[in-house]
């Protein structure tokens, strides 16, 4: 049950009921075809209700998995309970990125903050164990990629984090992010990320392939998916250029979803988009893929 909804609760519950009807109308045919496993991003979706209430709303909307940016304002036990109560899998969250509210977006490329990074990774481990998540995103930070010290610090941070978390059976993912949305971000190139993963050759280091960022940085999304699929641990989606629901604009998402299946991707596809309006009103795109 969703709590703390107040007067908006009845409206949200009616929207859930309407969406359930849409799901029944648009379910895929019974050919045994595997569809992408979508994870609702609870940091961006269902923000009409408090964070801990979003788990129930996501489950009621047909999602079987969730992801979020930063869980650290809540206890691991509270988040684990919401996952269990709603039958949800935790697909991904970020390792501590420094002072997010002050604009920091990761510590890995700063050699002078390596000790702080290590403490953050250690602090995240109880959340990983409590939620059952299998992979965590390590953000690089705002630094110049042509800075030799920053590049060396990033490699060192990746190696240490992978070794530390690997002992608990966890993967580390890295995500190229476009500089239009995050100016100055160190990791802004998919080829660089792929080369780094291949060069380090660490078994639990994977690529987080965000289709939104790939289209803005490089374009040619389908061919890059095909080329990089062996390295990919997690995929994320949003329309381009607006970062709204994946239902149009520059990209043909039904085609991309079918391609992800054809490539036998077994991970999760995170819905990291900003809804145009109320989250429930924008879920028509999801109806063919929702759990009934």
Q: Is 30 a catalytic residue?
A: no
> Would you give the distance in Å from CA 9 to the centre of its chain?
27
Q: Is 259 a catalytic residue?
A: no
> Would you give the distance in Å from CA 4 to the centre of its chain?
26
Query: Residue 184: which of 230, 150, 218 has the closest Cα?
Result: 150
> Would you give the distance in Å from CA 37 to the centre of its chain?
12
- Cis peptide preceding 277, ω within 30 of 0: no
Contacts of 167 (CB under 8 A, 6+ apart): none
Cα 109 from Cα 140, distance rounded (Å): 6
Radius of gyration of the chain (CA): 19
Coil, strand or helix at 210: strand
Q: The tokens of 106 are what?
A: 């990761």
- Of the residues 48, 67, 175, 245, only one is catalytic, namely 175
Which residues participate in catalysis according to the annotation?
A: 175, 272
């Amino acid at each position: 049950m969703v709590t703390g909804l107040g007067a908006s609760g009845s409206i949200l519950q009616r929207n859930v009921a309407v969406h359930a009807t849409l799901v029944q109308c648009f379910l895929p045919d019974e050919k045994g075809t595997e569809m992408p496993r979508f994870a609702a991003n609870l940091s961006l979706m269902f923000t009409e209700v408090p964070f801990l209430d979003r788990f129930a709303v996501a489950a009621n909307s047909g999602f079987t998995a969730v992801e979020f940016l930063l869980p650290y304002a809540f206890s691991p036990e509270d988040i684990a309970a919401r996952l269990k109560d709603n039958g949800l899998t935790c697909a991904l969250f970020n390792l501590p990125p420094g002072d997010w509210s002050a604009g920091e977006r990761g510590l890995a490329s700063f050699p002078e903050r390596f000790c702080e990074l290590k403490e953050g990774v250690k602090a995240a481990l109880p959340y990983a164990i409590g939620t059952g998540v299998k992979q965590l995103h390590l953000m690089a930070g705002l630094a110049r990629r042509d800075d030799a010290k920053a590049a060396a610090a990033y490699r060192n941070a990746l190696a240490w984090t992978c070794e530390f978390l690997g002992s608990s059976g966890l993967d580390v993912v890295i995500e190229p992010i476009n500089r239009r949305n995050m100016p100055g971000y160190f990791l802004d190139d998919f080829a660089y990320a792929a080369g780094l993963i291949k060069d380090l050759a660490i078994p639990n280091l994977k690529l987080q392939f965000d289709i939104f960022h790939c289209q803005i940085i490089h374009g040619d999304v389908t061919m890059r998916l095909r080329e990089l699929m062996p390295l990919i641990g997690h995929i994320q989606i949003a329309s381009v250029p607006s970062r709204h629901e994946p239902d149009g604009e520059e990209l043909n998402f039904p085609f991309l979803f079918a391609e992800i299946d054809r490539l036998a991707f077994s991970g999760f596809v995170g819905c990291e988009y900003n809804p145009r309006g109320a989250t429930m009103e924008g879920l028509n795109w999801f109806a063919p893929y929702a759990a009934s």
